[in-house]
Structure 1
Amino acid sequence: MAALPFGAGESVVRELRAAMDGKVMIDCSNPVGPGFRLLTQSGFSAAERLAAVAPGTHVVKAFNLRHEDVWRMSPPIFDGRRLAVPVCGDDATALALVHQLVKHAGCEPVAGGSLDRAGLLEATAALFIGLWIDEGADAQAIAPPLAYAAGPRDEEPRTTEKPLR
């Protein structure tokens, strides 16, 4: 598991590259800087950067959206629901292993797509951290349960337009 400050991760992984060949590395870092700005706006995600300097390592992005106190809960359950953990990666075997680890922690793994989507998790973390700290916002309330996320399904789409006469 790599929880390294943005910028330091690449040099650490480069030094350990030979020992990590063929292994799975879980990147749980968040490249968030002053003002809760994403430090990777002009390029690849932190996870993709780690994968680039250690091409024989199977990098998976996971466990980055929660504060360390959440991981002290056993298991992390909120309002009767297990904590969902998005997981991004390119290697099927590595993904299966991380999904097992997520389940072992009492959480629900969520397929987040390939490693090129890791930047979306990092951007989500930057947004949520800023909302929690600056605004005291309940980020969980931003994303309603799936049953409500797309609106009613058994009704015809509603429109606010008035019919033309």
Structure 2
Amino acid sequence: MRAVLQRVKKSVVKVEGKSVGSIGKGLLVFLGIERIDTNSDLEWLVDKLPRVRCFEDDAGRMNRNLEETGGEVMVISQFTLFGSLRKGTRPSFNRAADPEQAIPLYEEFVERLSTTLGKPVATGIFGAEMEISAVNDGPVTLVIDTKNRDF
């Protein structure tokens, strides 16, 4: 699994012009699921994400996490995180999981993250054309990859 985290002041996701999810201050998470991902990847990421210290403390240092700030989370499925440009300029998505595999993992990720945080996690609609707006805070953008944990 690969997640791109953006610290935001607010974010909204729309499908067909209608808002289907929104958050205030927190993290906008773009989640890509790879063909070789398993429940262990999901568990590792659900454990890691709430503890990422990317929010500023009183001294202006990034020392606070979602749990400490009460921040909200929005998770958007994004298979393009596993796009490859290795053989040219048109991306190949061979590494991205098919919907049959990705949807259950995505839904389980959202459910477990919500349980861990003790509040609902906003989402888009898997596979839909989405319009995502975000007011970045910082900006702060981080990438987490369950197969490359040193990333």
TM-score, with length taken from structure 2:
0.30
Q: Which has the higher helix share?
A: 1
The structure with the greater share of residues assigned to strand is 2
- Between the two structures, name the one with larger relative contact order (CA 8 Å, sep ≥ 6): 2
Normalised by the length of structure 1, the TM-score is: 0.28
Larger Rg: 1
